[in-house]
A and B are shown apart, each in its own frame.
Chain A
Amino acid sequence: MSRDSTASLPAGLGRRDFLAAASVGLSGGLAGCAGVFATEGNNVNIAGSSTVFPVTEAIASSFSERNPTVNLSLSKTGTGGGFGNFFCAGRTDINNASRAIADAEIEQCGNNGITPIEFQVATDALTVVANPNADWIDCLTVEQLREIWRADGATHWSDINGEWPDEPFELYGAATTSGTFDYFNEAIIGEEENHRSDYHATERDRTIVQGVQGSEYAMGYFGFSYYSENPDSIKAISVDDGDGCVEPSIETAMNGEYTPLSRPLFIYVAKESLEKEAVRDFVRFYMKRAATDLVSEVGYVPITEEKRDENIEKLETAIAEVTA
């Protein structure tokens, strides 16, 4: 009995010592790591459009390989969600945007002392898609698209063209927080009408692909890069803006034939964030890379070299103002 109890004591002591040592070691290690890597302002926070996401991801990835100590975070929030909840609230340094910033958003940013600077980084061709078995459509005019997507418009395919099947549409589109929604709304629906609200709205392009694959009478729209990755499972519809049918492609977007659905993609940088060295380095790197193959590899049209030089000049002016 007595042997037992005395034997358990040193064992208990050893365990406690081990535990104490382990916890001291753990917290010390954590603090040590934090101390070694913590350099003030070594973070770059980005939110915004899921359409611009792949471009920024590609550039951030190659930036990160060269600057592994910079902590870069990237979120998909939609253009409007990114401006409203993160960028103009001072929570992020950069916002990805698939449309130009709105006046209300500029005002919101201004109230919080944030000056957005716009840089065009690529061009996208917004793509309307249908099920490959829907053999009756290859091309739609802008009016027909408006009729399909406007509120209180057509409900059946036969409403658009009497020869088409008498079946209701199944519509998949971008969510209202998305810049893709805003752009489609502006380019196709116009100011007099509203975008319909009885469709499947999502920020996840994959959901649209799955929906359109699943039904012969379905239709959807999203950025070109998503279509270019799935050209066999869904069919892109050519758009007729009065000059005949033009199919969406990198070439037709670049030479300006694919109207009205080709659109510029932007990043907005908070001028105040350019005080941080990491943000400066990243945006400089971004501007140089935006005119290269990195952009076409993810399915967008790179900007021209003149545009790139213009961007770099704009950036350097802003940096000079902030750091002066």
Chain B
Amino acid sequence: MAADTGETPADGFGRVSRTKDVAFRLLALAATLIGIVSLAALLLNVAVDAVGWLDWQFLTNPPHPDPYEAGFLPALVGSIAIMLMIALVTFPLGVGAAVYLEEYADDGYLTRFIQLNIANLAGVPSVVYGLLGLGLFVGLFNIGYGTVLAAAFTIALLILPIVIISAQEAIRAVPDSQRQASYGMGATKWQTIRNVVLPRAMPGIMTGTILALGRAIGETAPLIMIAAPTTVFGLPNSFFSKVSAMPLQIYNWASYPQTEFQYGVVAAGVVTLLVVLLTINSIAIVIRNRYQQRT
């Protein structure tokens, strides 16, 4: 009896539960696989299309209407030039803002308001930043449409909230006991930040910044808004020369009539963009690992 009553519900309960368990497990697995498989399929597809197109000549030539002569050099160099400028602009601004918010600002309404706004800014669509860049840098400051400076400043604004937030998190992760120890030895606030907080937070800040730069390199919409030219020949020769970027050039090629462009050349461009992006991300990982080992 006891075994009977004990077994039947347990059995029924157990059976239902096991089926659901397995079903849910499969469902979760399928959800994971869809993402991974479609990414793998995309990468494979693009890589296969790029075979025979991605060669030295593609990387060193200017663009050309003939797909067999088309090259990527001005867009590649343009993207890297924009990236370097963005890094120079966002790093000091982002770290400065994060240090202020974490170390100096008191926890008042104003600080909370700023904090909330930064979090919201991180979610503003990039087209809106493009409009801001068009109005502010191209219109008001008159630094020229589609120039290296205008492009870099606009995208820098776009990733600044992300840099600030990741830098704040890195600074927050520095144990308070270390700050107290520094004060205890008679250090001023500035000395504490310089000698204790920033060195400790640096790997986190660097990782966050470089990942944000990875996002910046793929941005197209703000560049279209500030009227970056469709195609550029020759390398940028000053901060005020017109610049094109890799995603913009790829977008342009996708509209060419020849199928060689739509498949081969575009795929070669995409692979180049991905390689540059992955290189940047792996630099971030290497930096993080090195600093983590030291500290």
Contact = CB atoms under 8 A, between A and B. Distances in A.
Given A9-B195, A206-B256, A72 B232 contact: yes
A42 interface: yes
A70 B200 CA distance: 46
B231 A26 contact: no
A304 interface: no
Contact of B199 (A11, A53, A75, A226): A11
B237 A43 contact: yes
Q: Is the interface of B mostly helix, strand, loop or mixed?
A: loop
Interface stretch (B61-69, B100-108, B274-282): B61-69
Interface string B130-162: 000000000000000110000000000000000
A16 B199 contact: yes
A84 interface: no
Given A12-B199, A64-B233, A69-B234, A54 B84 contact: no
A127 to B, nearest CB: 12
Contact of B230 (A39, A63, A64, A76): A76
Interface in A1-43: 5, 8-9, 11-12, 15-16, 19, 23, 26-27, 30, 34, 37-39, 42-43
A76 B65 CA distance: 14
Interface in A115-139: none
Interface string A48-72: 0000011001101111110111111
B199 A15 contact: yes
Nearest to B195: A12
Contact of A26 (B84, B200, B255, B258): B84
B165 to A, nearest CB: 21
Given A45-B242, A61-B64, A230-B257, A26 B88 contact: yes
A8 B65 contact: no
Nearest to B64: A61
Given A43-B242, A58-B64, A68 B295 contact: no
Contacts of B202: 15, 19
A230 B257 CA distance: 7
B76 interface: no
B181 interface: yes
Interface residues of A, number: 51
A229 to B, nearest CB: 4
A73 interface: yes
A74 B256 contact: no
B257 A226 contact: yes
A42 B237 contact: yes
Contacts of A65: 61-62
- The CB with the most chain B CB atoms within 10 A, among A12, A16, A68, A229, is that of A12
A68 B195 contact: no
- The CB with the most chain A CB atoms within 10 A, among B66, B255, B257, is that of B257
Contacts, number: 129
Interface in A56-101: 57-58, 60-65, 67-76, 91
Given A26-B84, A297-B66, A205 B257 contact: yes
B80 to A, nearest CB: 11
B257 A71 contact: no
Contacts of B230: 53, 74-76
A135 B63 CA distance: 39
A45 B69 contact: no
B244 interface: yes
A71 B88 contact: no
A160 interface: no
A106 interface: no
A204 interface: yes
Interface string B17-36: 00000000000000000000
A47 B232 CA distance: 11
Contact of B65 (A26, A64, A298): A298
Contacts of A297: 65-66
Contact of B232 (A39, A73, A209): A73
A225 interface: yes
Nearest to A58: B65
A58 B181 CA distance: 67
Given A76-B230, A230-B257, A26 B63 contact: no
A59 to B, nearest CB: 10
A15 B181 CA distance: 21
A-B residue pairs, 3 tightest by C-beta: A12-B199, A73-B242, A37-B237
Given A30-B84, A57-B64, A71-B237, 11 more contacts: A8-B199, A8-B200, A34-B237, A38-B237, A45-B242, A58-B64, A61-B61, A69-B237, A72-B232, A74-B233, A204-B255
20 contacts: A8-B199, A8-B200, A15-B199, A26-B84, A26-B88, A34-B238, A34-B239, A38-B237, A53-B230, A64-B233, A64-B234, A67-B234, A68-B234, A71-B233, A71-B234, A72-B232, A73-B231, A75-B227, A75-B230, A206-B255
